[in-house]
Amino acid sequence: MDNAEIKKCDIVFLQETHIGPEDEIFMLVDWEEFHTEYRSGSKGVSVLIKKHDSYECIESDVDNDGSYIIVKCEVRGQLYTLVNVYNHQSETDVLDKLTPYLQESAEGVLVIGGDFNTPLDPYMDRTSTTQNGQHAKLRQCVEKFTASIHLVDIWRRINPTEEEYTYCKKGSTSRLDYIFMQKKSMGQVKACKILDTPEKYSDHKPVWLQLTSAPQSVSTSTETADMNKDKAQISLMSWNIHGLRTKVAYVTEEAEKNKCDIVFLQETHIGPQNTDAYDEFKEWKCYFSKYDSRKQGVAILIKKHDGFKCTESKVDKHGSYIILKCVVRGQPYTLVNVYNHKLDTDVLEKLILYLQACGL
């Protein structure tokens, strides 16, 4: 297994971190951390951002219920709004609440990652042929959310006919984890992959995204093009971690290998009494929602450096998503990390309204 991409990450999104208010956590060196707390149904999310000179956090917002984190930051001159969401299968209102916030406040490049707990294409994104009513219910919420904010499923856009999956349990496989961006930002997408990781760490696979800080264009100057490429490129990973507390070191290792600037985590499982679990992410700015009885927590981690500046963040009070407006390496972004619980139907609707209010 080659996880070189993860080691190069600037940003890591984690879901289901399972870090509660009573848990002890150690800071990660070289990462700025944003976390939610684990509660019985919202298992925590985290955002880790690699600390470096081109990173600045502008602002962050954490969902009181632990389902999402929003981080506005600047990485390598680009403004981003990062949103890490864990959309719990029992929730239907997480995305509905997140939508109006993103509509009103998202700035720069909006990146939304997380565990949405539903296959968007019931034929290509799952292997089971059995009807799943909860998937259908949540799918409507996600579709409404993405349509209202003009979001694109990045991996599917790049791989229109491929069948790969991010979740596997008891022989059932599905693609439940996504990174969304707005159509207007597609020119900045360089690559997007579903990575292989050891099953002992999680029953979800991470989704890896690589961006440039501005839309790619042809340049007649080789020297100028090379300089801009080095300055602009950022990496983002979205991952349902299904319990972060004992996996901090592994998440850090994977992010370092892929030089990630931003990490979206879903199902962090971090509760209000153990948010210190994020203290180990020393070089990451962390934005996180707290775990509660229905939502399992999301987080956005952004690597600390001079090129990052957070302008605003918002966390869904029910813990299903995080929205982060930030500048990364001169490019403004609006990042959204979502955990769309399979029992929720209104999470994406609320998120849509917010993003529409933001003019996205």
Query: Residue 210 has what pLDDT?
Result: 94
Ranges of the chain whose pLDDT falls below 70 = 1-7, 20-27, 38-42, 133, 213-232, 291-295, 357-360
Query: Residue 1 has what pLDDT?
Result: 32
**Virtual torsion, Cα 68, 72, 78, 84, nearest 10 deg:** 0
Decide if 291 is catalytic: no
**What is the number of domains present in the chain?**
1
List Cβ neighbours of 160 (8 Å cut-off, separation of 6 or more). none
Query: Residue 27 has what pLDDT?
Result: 66
Q: Which domain holds residue 326?
A: 4-357
Does residue 115 have a known ligand-binding role? yes
Does residue 16 have a known ligand-binding role? yes
Does residue 117 have a known ligand-binding role? yes
- The answer to whether 154 touches 184, Cβ cutoff 8 Å, is no
Catalytic one among 86, 165, 278, 291? Answer: 86
Instruction: Give the domain CATH number at 133.
Output: 3.60.10.10
Alpha-carbon gap, residue 88 to 68, rounded angstroms: 11
According to DSSP, the β-strands at 207-211 and 234-240 are: antiparallel
Alpha-carbon gap, residue 290 to 271, rounded angstroms: 5
Query: Residue 219 has what pLDDT?
Result: 31
Decide if 86 is catalytic: yes
List Cβ neighbours of 95 (8 Å cut-off, separation of 6 or more). 85, 87, 141, 142, 144, 145, 320, 321, 338, 340, 344, 346, 347, 348, 349, 350, 351, 352
The β-bridge partners of 32 are 49, 284
Alpha-carbon gap, residue 93 to 228, rounded angstroms: 41
Query: Residue 130 has what pLDDT?
Result: 73
- The structure's pTM equals 0.60
Catalytic one among 115, 177, 276, 346? Answer: 115
Does residue 204 have a known ligand-binding role? yes
Catalytic one among 18, 35, 52, 204? Answer: 204
Decide if 115 is catalytic: yes
Query: Residue 137 has what pLDDT?
Result: 84
